[in-house]
Protein backbone atom coordinates (compact mmCIF):
# COMPACT_ATOMS: atom_id res chain seq x y z
CA UNK A 1 0.00 0.00 0.00
CA UNK A 2 1.29 3.46 -0.85
CA UNK A 3 0.74 6.60 1.20
CA UNK A 4 -1.82 7.71 -1.39
CA UNK A 5 -3.70 4.41 -1.01
CA UNK A 6 -3.61 4.92 2.74
CA UNK A 7 -5.01 8.45 2.47
CA UNK A 8 -7.82 7.18 0.23
CA UNK A 9 -8.70 4.50 2.78
CA UNK A 10 -8.63 6.99 5.64
CA UNK A 11 -10.96 9.31 3.69
CA UNK A 12 -13.35 6.42 2.99
CA UNK A 13 -15.46 8.52 0.63
CA UNK A 14 -15.23 11.76 2.63
CA UNK A 15 -13.63 14.87 1.18
CA UNK A 16 -10.05 15.67 2.10
CA UNK A 17 -11.37 18.72 3.95
CA UNK A 18 -13.81 16.68 6.03
CA UNK A 19 -11.16 14.04 6.71
CA UNK A 20 -8.63 16.64 7.86
CA UNK A 21 -11.21 18.06 10.27
CA UNK A 22 -11.95 14.59 11.63
CA UNK A 23 -8.20 14.02 12.12
CA UNK A 24 -7.71 17.39 13.81
CA UNK A 25 -5.18 18.61 11.24
CA UNK A 26 -5.32 21.49 8.78
CA UNK A 27 -6.48 21.04 5.22
CA UNK A 28 -3.10 22.40 4.11
CA UNK A 29 -1.27 19.67 6.03
CA UNK A 30 -3.48 16.99 4.50
CA UNK A 31 -2.80 18.47 1.05
CA UNK A 32 0.92 18.26 1.70
CA UNK A 33 0.50 14.53 2.43
CA UNK A 34 -1.53 14.14 -0.77
CA UNK A 35 1.04 15.96 -2.87
CA UNK A 36 3.98 14.05 -1.42
CA UNK A 37 5.53 17.09 0.24
CA UNK A 38 5.22 15.74 3.77
CA UNK A 39 4.98 12.38 5.53
CA UNK A 40 2.59 12.12 8.50
CA UNK A 41 4.11 11.99 11.97
CA UNK A 42 3.57 8.94 14.17
CA UNK A 43 0.95 10.92 16.09
CA UNK A 44 -1.03 11.56 12.91
CA UNK A 45 -0.58 7.94 11.79
CA UNK A 46 -2.14 6.88 15.08
CA UNK A 47 -5.10 9.16 14.29
CA UNK A 48 -5.36 7.50 10.86
CA UNK A 49 -5.59 4.13 12.61
CA UNK A 50 -8.12 5.41 15.14
CA UNK A 51 -10.54 6.88 12.58
CA UNK A 52 -10.15 4.18 9.92
CA UNK A 53 -9.68 0.94 11.86
CA UNK A 54 -6.85 -0.01 9.49
CA UNK A 55 -4.12 -2.41 10.54
CA UNK A 56 -1.44 -0.39 12.36
CA UNK A 57 1.42 -2.27 10.68
CA UNK A 58 0.03 -1.51 7.21
CA UNK A 59 -0.42 2.17 8.09
CA UNK A 60 3.12 2.54 9.39
CA UNK A 61 4.64 0.54 6.51
CA UNK A 62 2.86 2.70 3.94
CA UNK A 63 4.02 5.92 5.56
CA UNK A 64 7.56 4.83 6.38
CA UNK A 65 8.14 3.56 2.84
CA UNK A 66 7.75 7.17 1.70
CA UNK A 67 10.84 8.10 3.73
CA UNK A 68 13.05 5.58 1.94
CA UNK A 69 15.02 7.28 -0.82
CA UNK A 70 15.82 4.19 -2.88
CA UNK A 71 12.69 3.38 -4.97
CA UNK A 72 13.48 -0.33 -5.18
CA UNK A 73 13.84 -0.62 -1.40
CA UNK A 74 10.73 1.52 -0.83
CA UNK A 75 8.66 -0.75 -3.10
CA UNK A 76 9.99 -3.88 -1.36
CA UNK A 77 9.20 -2.32 2.02
CA UNK A 78 5.59 -1.58 0.97
CA UNK A 79 5.13 -5.05 -0.48
CA UNK A 80 6.72 -6.91 2.42
CA UNK A 81 3.53 -6.61 4.47
CA UNK A 82 1.47 -8.16 1.68
CA UNK A 83 3.83 -11.14 1.53
CA UNK A 84 3.78 -11.57 5.31
CA UNK A 85 -0.02 -11.63 5.52
Structural domains of the chain, with CATH: 3-84 (1.10.260)
Q: What is the pLDDT of residue 51?
A: 94
Q: What is the pLDDT of residue 65?
A: 87
- In a 13 Å sphere around the CA of 50, the CA atoms on its Cβ side amount to 10
Q: What is the pLDDT of residue 7?
A: 96
Share of the chain above pLDDT 70, in %: 94
Q: What is the pTM of this model?
A: 0.85
SS3 percent helix, strand, coil of the chain, rounded to 5, is 70, 0, 30
Share of the chain above pLDDT 90, in %: 68
Amino acid sequence: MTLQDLLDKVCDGMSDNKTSQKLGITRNTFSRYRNGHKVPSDEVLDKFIEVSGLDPVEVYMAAYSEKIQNPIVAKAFRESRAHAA
